[in-house]
Copies of this chain bind each other. A is one copy, B any other.
Amino acid sequence: MTDEEKAKYFQVALCSSLVLFGFDGEDLKILVYRKLNDPFKGGLVLPGKFIGVTDSNDQAIHELLIEKIAYDEHQTYIEQLKAFTKVFRNPLGRVINVAYYALVKLTPQIEEKVKAQGGEWYAYDRIPDLAFDHNEIVQYAKERVKRRVKRRPVGFNLLGDEFTIAQLQSLYEKALNRELDKRNFRKKIFNSNLIIETGNTTDPKQHRKVSKLYRFDEEKYEKLSLKGYDFLF
């Protein structure tokens, strides 16, 4: 490649945005921020950042997660969606957005950090108009999550160490955007043998009736996923 050609092609900027799905035990929601500077100052956008020429995208997403939500690496599922490459998606010039999504369980610490950073949560099915092509990215992310949730137990990343079956079901209903039968749901979940009773129960003060708490059996999942295990739904 000639120097002339190099000058011609090496003019693109790279950024990564993150569709962060959070679940608080009841609602599934997505994190957005209000832009403080141009372009699209005041508009809502996904968390994201430009990537330096010698920086990795994966690393940038990790940094973003630490900055924005002080996340726990081991409990977070992260995956690249795809590149969004439209020529005029950013008025600054040609910017390629390599978008990711992540699944996290929301804790009071995260909620606090998000508030301090000025982040806003929007319900999974009520996403407002976002700047750039970010609505397109969110749409794509939602479809990907829907598919993933059907085949791999990624949903567990959105729940705390301990959870009730009702919480798990609620999560699946939100992600799949349809209601599920309680008995059938329990049957599937227990047949998968991927969850373990912890022996604990919910706090009797919070609900009329206490319910059993479960946790995800990661060890069993590791074994199963080696041979291309399909989850359910």
Contact B14 A92 (CB under 8 A): no
A10 B9 Cβ-Cβ under 8 A: no
Whether, in the assembled complex, A207 has its beta carbon less than 8 Å from a beta carbon of chain B, the answer is no
Distance in angstroms between the alpha carbons of A10 and B95 in the assembled complex:
8
**A56 contacts partner chain B, Cβ-Cβ < 8 Å:** yes
Q: Which of A80-133 contact B (CB under 8 A)?
A: 80-83, 85-87, 92-94, 96, 98
Q: How far is the CA of A94 from the CA of B147 in the complex (A)?
A: 32
> Considering only CB atoms, which chain B residue lies closest to A5 in the complex?
B50
B6 in contact with A92 (CB, 8 Å): yes
What residue of chain B has the Cβ atom nearest to residue A54's Cβ? B87
Bound complex: CA A50 to CA B94 (Å): 14
Q: How large is the interface on A (under 10, 10 to 19, 20 to 34, 35 or more residues)?
A: 20 to 34
CB neighbours of A80 from chain B (8 A): 82-83
What are the residues of chain B within 8 A of A87 when measuring CB–CB? Answer: 54-56
Contacts of A98 in B (CB 8 A): 83, 85, 96
Inter-subunit contact B1/A85 (CB<8 Å): no
Q: Would you mind naming 14 contact pairs between A and B with Cβ atoms under 8 Å apart?
A: A5-B50, A9-B14, A9-B51, A9-B53, A10-B11, A11-B11, A12-B12, A12-B13, A12-B53, A14-B85, A51-B85, A55-B87, A56-B86, A96-B96
**Which residues of A come within 8 Å of B, CB atoms?**
1, 5-6, 8-15, 37, 50-57, 80-83, 85-87, 92-94, 96, 98
